[in-house]
Homo-oligomer: A and B are copies of this chain.
């Protein structure tokens, strides 16, 4: 196994953000108003929920326009020079049919590493506001509070916080091979690591073992954490692990998994090199699964 390296050190997409989130400003209306009035303040401009990269790999942004309302914006944080960065919570989503791979996966690599991380968090936050205009407790309208880091119900006062859903994503390892799978929504040839949401009442390791068992019928023992990635489609925390399989016989849950197979290091190497005779197409470099395969090769 290669040495222990975090996702930031591996330069995995959406990690390595450099903004100071300045959480103390979120609950301090006076300091927040000062940030909003700062002449250096910028508002990130999106295209629907997609980023608009500049030629320099930055997110497109504008100064705060006259008449804009602070309450319609979230404070994402402060740049190293102290310049505040905001984003509008009013989003015009585009009603496009889903494609695979999504168009945004081709746009994100045009951003610098740190800007992609800023974009990821911003997209998750804005999308959460858009999908949570009402109070789950009583159904009434909610409004953004704490500089866009929570929503409050105008009727029952319940406070709601942005969701981040922990997902385990894992390689099962057995006699020098790892288990990869093609989900039923993936195009032919495209394989990735198994993954699934952590459910209430289980640890990371228990979720890893359950998912491998449910999806491929393989029992596993020891589980090791590798690294993690925030995934903004819409807002997952991807927790990458490796599990030691106790056997290699596969029984697929065909509601979820179209195909699964054990692959050797040579096969993984050929796939990542996009060799013509590769056994499978690897996950996108944007996805943490790509880096899990690189980790397994010792890269």
Contact = CB atoms under 8 A, between A and B. Distances in A.
23 contacts: A4-B224, A6-B203, A6-B223, A8-B203, A14-B201, A15-B203, A17-B201, A17-B202, A21-B199, A27-B255, A121-B199, A124-B200, A134-B138, A134-B139, A163-B163, A164-B166, A200-B232, A203-B227, A203-B228, A203-B229, A203-B237, A204-B239, A205-B228
Nearest to A17: B201
Contacts of A294: none
Nearest to A234: B200
Most buried by B among A124, A160, A230: A230
B6 A201 contact: no
Nearest to A117: B201
A122 interface: yes
A35 B68 CA distance: 57
A203 B230 contact: yes
A136 interface: yes
A264 interface: no
Contacts of A21: 199, 210
A40 interface: no
Most buried by B among A118, A124, A137, A164: A164
Contacts of A132: 136-137
A27 B17 CA distance: 39
A224 B255 CA distance: 36
Most buried by B among A6, A149, A223, A224: A6
Nearest to A215: B23
A200 B27 contact: no
Contacts of A121: 199-202
Interface in A148-170: 149, 158, 160-166
Most buried by B among A24, A124, A200: A200
Nearest to A202: B230
A149 B230 CA distance: 24
A6 B239 CA distance: 15
A239 B228 CA distance: 12
A111 to B, nearest CB: 13
Interface string A204-239: 111000100010000000011101111010010101
A268 interface: no
Nearest to A4: B224
Given A121-B202, A164-B166, A203-B229, 8 more contacts: A8-B206, A24-B255, A132-B136, A134-B138, A161-B165, A161-B197, A200-B230, A225-B225
A163 B125 CA distance: 16
Most buried by B among A15, A134, A136: A136
A149 B162 CA distance: 20
Contacts of A229: 203
